[in-house]
A and B are shown apart, each in its own frame.
Chain A
């Protein structure tokens, strides 16, 4: 697959995000057949985020009915259904026993029951779930990141093309695209407020996330599925699972994707058995087609300074953005060009659903987020390939990488590809030695 670096091609795909350029009616095969005109929703991946997304769908106020749920684990499904049912009641939540689907293949059946699907499992499963939803012709909200390796990205890109052809709305939970400080500030950057962007720095430095302890009687597959953050086939490492947000902002500002990545990373402070195979820090420089460089840094170091934000430098000024509703542009003399009002901004997690469901109920085709999400996820994966291998990688090399992290077989007694040694520790990448593509 040939990557699209040109500004023109990028604009073609990113325009959808910012407006209704591609607006055109789509055919909802069954949706409006329902006598009370409601849309049927299925949740695939019943963790805290998926459950939160169902709440946000209901909070749009549209007539939505949750009709099916799927998860690898029954306890996760039950734990998700309870608060949904408590809050929204049996009228809106119609998930009887026969539409609770559990196991690795549960997603197929749940998707079949709905008009609209929320895909919110760990990211390793996203390519197969997205493909299935597209093949079944469903409208889609899916969480970021959208894959954990290049093989997965290629599947998502291919399915994204089919989704466009079928006019299926796809919104991806890179929620900065639905947050007004980002929209307002980046629009001004694209309009030339600080000139051409020559460089930038994007960060996700903080103390790290949850760990789930190994329980007696768990197979290796179940343990990795439960403690998924620390296994690359499921998570993609934190540069992908988390830092993709900031890397995606860099791509958005640059209106393109990097042509080259080089970097350094490792495990310094998060080195336990329970920490699987992922690194605790990555520092990457991404070079874009015009030669400009974005510095990307993510680390999980408790006790050290935190920083989660994005800065850019242009020929006429600089920009500062953060999820805390910062959006500041100034010239090189320090004069403010734009300063986003940080008070009373709409919750971007809600805004994603407001815009998606408004379009769905109007019968509009407005959102094709999958391609950009796949390419921004690919950017983060390219970063990981660079830190794991210690090599300089081009976009083409990374995107065409042959290493497939996924297990040969998905079953509770099947073996994932990365296994602990006799002391319980997992092998991790060694720069200079590890093959990533």
Chain B
């Protein structure tokens, strides 16, 4: 009798172990292939920890006060999202044409961007180049599309997560120190970009393996911009969810910014005038025809929220813009 129970127990333990192993999430760098296509991108683990957010900068008072913040672990895209991936989301017919096999019923029902009437590459090219000009809503819907295709909860970084990842354990102005002249080794900026976006990953990465975290294109965060937010921001995983359409936080500077305008702590904000060249009313919920310097980078939290919270994140209705 006893022996039979022991066998049974062993069997149960073995099953359980197998289940654990199968479902264990390894907190390591990985490559995400967009199912059915050759398109892929890489994510690196950003360990949880605490850091000094903001700066004592007198020039940009919205960076003050510098304050200690705790961040939960997450993965972050090593590169800014490129047109190669974003265009699959943008155009269902294109995704269908390029994919092996059907793109899936759920994905079929997704709300996708209105195809932009204007050339949203602004003559700066697509292949390997950052996708640009999308609204925060469009950036989140891209994450939604990826979630439906992969089952993985991708989202935008909070402002705090972005800065934590950019600083990568440093407390200097740049992750490489204080010398703005060295920025050109790490970033496409006003001084070296020839007024254009450049292929992602063609400069040196930061200590945590993030390319183009400064320059090339500014990157969306999920936060509302408020100049005085640091005076009251919570210590753990601070975020300031966007309620108003403008201004929202974008980070990192771009190919148009001068070295002196860029740093790990520098906060930029979205502006209504980025849509002034949209000749339609209501203005597009998807595109900024005058923000060729704006792109996005993905984040995946190690501990994803509940399915209900994920659904709420992706299905938040856009705000009319006129």
Chain A positions within 8 Å of B, measured between CB atoms, are 47-49, 51-55, 80, 83-84, 86-87, 175, 204-210, 242, 269-270, 272, 302-303, 305-309, 322-324, 347, 349-350
Contact (A83, B93) CB under 8 Å given A206-B119, A306-B126, A347-B276:
no
In Å, the complex CA distance between A305 and B121 comes to 9
| CB-based contact A55/B322 at 8 Å | yes
Q: Which residues of chain B come closer than 8 Å to A48, judged between CB atoms? A: 279-282
Partner of B93 from the list A80, A242, A270 (CB cut-off 8 Å) is: A270
Report chain A residues within 8 Å CB of B278.
52
Closest to A322 in B: B123
Within 8 Å by CB of A52, from B90, B125, B280, lies B280
| Contact present for A309 and B91 (CB under 8 Å) | no
Q: Find out whether the CB atom of B279 lies under 8 angstroms from the CB atom of A49.
A: yes
List the B side residues contacting A349 at CB < 8 Å.
277, 279
CB <8 Å contact, B123 and A307? yes
Given A86-B322, A210-B114: A49 and B280 interface contact (C-beta under 8 Å): yes
Residue from A48, A49, A54 having most chain B Cβ neighbours under 10 A: A48
Closest to A301 in B: B94
Which residues does chain A contribute within 8 Å of B93, judged by CB atoms? 269-270, 272, 302
Q: Judging by beta carbons under 8 Å apart, are B280 and A51 in contact?
A: yes
The reply to whether A305 and B126 form a contact with Cβ atoms under 8 Å apart is yes
Residues from chain A with Cβ under 8 Å of B8 in the complex:
none
Which residues from chain A contact B281 at a C-beta distance below 8 Å?
Answer: 48, 51-52, 54-55, 80, 83-84
Binding site for A on B (CB under 8 A): 87, 90-91, 93-94, 97-98, 114-123, 125-127, 276-282, 292, 320, 322
Q: Which residues of B contact A208 (CB under 8 A)?
A: 91, 115
Inter-chain contact A303/B87, CB cutoff 8 Å: yes
Chain A residues with Cβ under 8 A from B90's Cβ? 207, 302
- B257 to chain A minimum Cβ distance, whole angstroms, is 13
Give the distance in Å from the alpha carbon of A53 to the alpha carbon of B278 in the complex: 11
Identify which of B93, B121, B279 gathers the most chain A CB atoms within 10 Å of its CB.
Answer: B279
B94 touches A207 (CB 8 A): yes
Instruction: Give B77 Cβ to nearest chain A Cβ, in Å.
Output: 21
Say whether, besides A83-B322, A302-B93, A302-B94, A210 and B115 are in contact (CB < 8 Å). yes
CB pair B118–A308 under 8 Å, yes or no, is yes
Please tell me if the beta carbons of A306 and B123 are within 8 angstroms of each other in the complex: yes
| Cβ contacts under 8 Å, B116 to chain A | 206-207
- For B279, list chain A residues within 8 Å (CB): 48-49, 52-53, 175, 349
A84, B90: Cα distance in complex, Å: 29
- C-alpha gap A106/B119 in the complex (Å): 34
Find A306's partner among B91, B97, B121, B276 (CB 8 Å cutoff). B121
- Are A347 and B277 in contact, with the CB atoms below 8 A? yes
Known: A209-B117, A242-B117, A307-B119. 7 other contacts (CB 8 A): A48-B280, A206-B116, A206-B118, A207-B90, A308-B118, A324-B123, A347-B276
In the assembled complex, which residues on chain A have CB atoms less than 8 Å from the CB atom of B117? 209, 242
For this complex, 24 residue pairs linking A to B, each with C-beta atoms less than 8 Å apart, are: A47-B280, A51-B280, A51-B281, A52-B278, A52-B279, A52-B280, A80-B281, A83-B322, A87-B322, A175-B279, A206-B116, A206-B118, A207-B87, A207-B116, A209-B117, A270-B93, A302-B87, A302-B90, A302-B91, A306-B123, A308-B123, A322-B123, A324-B122, A324-B123
Report the Cα distance A106→B118, complex, angstroms: 31
Q: Inside 8 A of A350's CB, which chain B residues have their CB?
A: 276
Question: In the complex, what distance in Å separates the CA atom of A78 from the CA atom of B148?
Answer: 34
Residue of B whose beta carbon sits closest to that of A304: B126
CB distance from A53 to the nearest CB of B (A): 8
Bound complex: CA A220 to CA B292 (Å):
40
Complex-state Cα separation, A49 to B276, whole angstroms: 13
Q: List the 4 closest A-B pairs by CB distance, nearest first.
A: A48-B280, A302-B94, A51-B281, A308-B119
- Distance in angstroms from A241 CB to nearest chain B CB is 10
Assembled-state Cα–Cα distance A205/B119 (Å)? 8
Q: Which residues of A contact B114 (CB under 8 A)?
A: 210
**Cα-based distance from A273 to B279 in the complex (angstroms):** 29
**CB closest residue in chain A, given B84:** A303
User: Contact at A309–B94, with CB atoms within 8 Å?
Assistant: no
* Shortest distance from the beta carbon of A435 to any chain B beta carbon, whole Å: 30
The answer to whether A309 touches B98 (Cβ under 8 A) is no
B-side contacts of A86, CB under 8 Å? 322
* Chain A neighbourhood of B94, CB < 8 A: 207, 302-303
Given A48-B281, A209-B115: A305 and B91 within 8 A (CB)? Answer: no
B101 to chain A, nearest CB (A): 18
A303 and B122 form a contact (CB under 8 A): no
Q: Tell me which residues across on chain A come within 8 A of B123, comparing CB atoms.
A: 306-309, 322, 324
Chain A residues with CB below 8 A from B97, complex form = 269, 302-303
Chain B residues closer than 8 Å to A204, beta-carbon distance: 119
Residues in A whose Cβ lies below 8 Å from that of B126: 305-306
With both beta carbons as reference points, the residue of chain A lying nearest to B195 in the complex is identified as: A342
Least distance between B177 CB and chain A CB atoms (Å): 31
List B contacts of A205 (CB < 8 A): 119
| Best-buried of B117, B281, B322 by chain A (most CB within 10 Å) | B281
| Bound CA–CA A206/B122 (angstroms) | 10
Are the CB atoms of B91 and A207 closer together than 8 Å? yes
Q: Which of A51, A242, A306, A323 has the most CB of B within 10 A?
A: A306
List the A side residues contacting B98 at CB < 8 Å: 303
Determine if B119 and A83 form an interchain contact, defined as CB atoms under 8 angstroms apart: no
Instruction: For the complex, give the distance between the alpha carbons of A423 and B70 in Å.
Output: 61
Look across to chain B and name the residue whose beta carbon is closest to the beta carbon of A242: B117
How long is the Cα–Cα vector from A47 to B123 in the complex, in angstroms?
28
- With most chain A CB atoms within 10 A of its CB, the pick from B114, B278, B280 is B280
Closest to A302 in B: B94
Kindly name the residue among A242, A302, A323 whose own CB sees the greatest number of chain B CB atoms within 10 A.
Answer: A302
Bound complex: CA of A87 vs CA of B282, how far in Å? 11
B278 nearest CB neighbor, chain A only: A52
**Complex-state Cα separation, A35 to B118, whole angstroms:** 43
Instruction: Tell me the bound Cα distance from A57 to B93 in angstroms.
Output: 37
- What's the Cα separation between A350 and B118 when bound, in Å? 17
- B276: chain A residues at CB < 8 Å are 347, 350
A168 and B311 CA atoms in complex are apart in Å by: 56
Question: How many whole Å from A352's CB to the nearest CB in chain B?
Answer: 10
Q: How far is the CB of A4 from chain B (nearest CB, A)?
A: 30
Residues of A contacting B122 in the complex (Cβ-Cβ under 8 angstroms): 324
